[in-house]
Amino acid sequence: MNLTLIFLGTGGSLPSSRALPSLALKRGGELLLFDCGEGTQAQMLKAGLSPLKVGSIFISHLHGDHFLGLAGLVQTMSLLGREEPLTIYVPSGEGERVETLLRLPRYTPTFELEVRELAGGEEVRREGYRILTSSTVHGVEGLAFSLEEFPRPGRLDPKRAVELGLSPGPVFSQLKAGKPVHLPGGREIRPEEVVGPPLPGRKVVYAVDTRPCEEVVALARGADVLVHDAMFEEEQGEKAKERGHSTSAEAAWVAREAGVKLLVLTHISPRYRESSRLLEQARRIFPNTVVAEDLMVLEVPLAGG
């Protein structure tokens, strides 16, 4: 099953050469949206993503650049005749504000819409994965999100299975599903005799508009991809601290402490027309770092094939 990140908006605060924050995540036929700044609809159009395919929306916090695109996107869903329910997840205590925003346009909703509040440490369980949350440090109530797939069945050794008297077919699937099978003579073949240990699922973490903090380090532990706030360069460290953001070097520190595989810098300040200095400073601490660009597509491979 594919797991694909589409970076719709990688800037912050103000529209610039970069669009405002939004990350689309495709997992199989499911589409999730993390943040929804102004212009997200236009970026989705450029990326070939349909608003009707969005299953859930997760909002990190209620600074305008992260959620003011919601009302337009929801209205478009109704104009297109959406029927499937939609849940928008927001930080604890912020549900009423989002509901007010969604009521402002004059239109008739064609689908059920739920705004659900989440606190740091809560989770949303879905088929095959869960979304975990942690608190962030930004001066307002905020969340970081981690999509974590559940472990997959281990590899079945067909040669060993045949040696034990099994024939290829449905029994192989039964063993991979963790269920024993029986030979005609009554002998039981247990899954552990022919199936290897479970294979880990993938883990992607989205942490924007935050100071480097232990909560995010813990959430990101062992992640395949960490998408992290990197609004400023090192020389603007005091400003980053005052405004509740991270420098690219601080994002790299989080990645190193959490032992992630890849760091993606995002939420780049409009002051930076090009990002080479941010990247250079991050790579001194965590070499496997890239800077997100608008409409960049990143495939997250399965561990172990």
- Tell me which residues are annotated as active site: 65
Ordered DSSP codes for 151-180: PBPPPB-HHHHHHTT--SSHHHHHHHTT--
Residue pointed to by tokens 């953001």 = 245
Q: Which residues, other chains included, contact 29 with Cβ-Cβ below 8 Å and sequence gap of 6+?
A: none
Do the beta carbons of residue 257 and residue 226 sit within 8 Å?
no
Segments in the chain forming alpha helices (H)? 40-47, 70-79, 95-103, 158-163, 170-176, 214-220, 237-243, 248-258, 276-283
DSSP three-state, residue 41: helix
Q: What share of the chain is helix, strand, coil (3-state, %, to 5)?
A: 30, 30, 45
Rounded to an integer, what distance in angstroms lies between the CA atom of residue 135 and that of residue 210? 9
Give SS3 for 127. Answer: coil
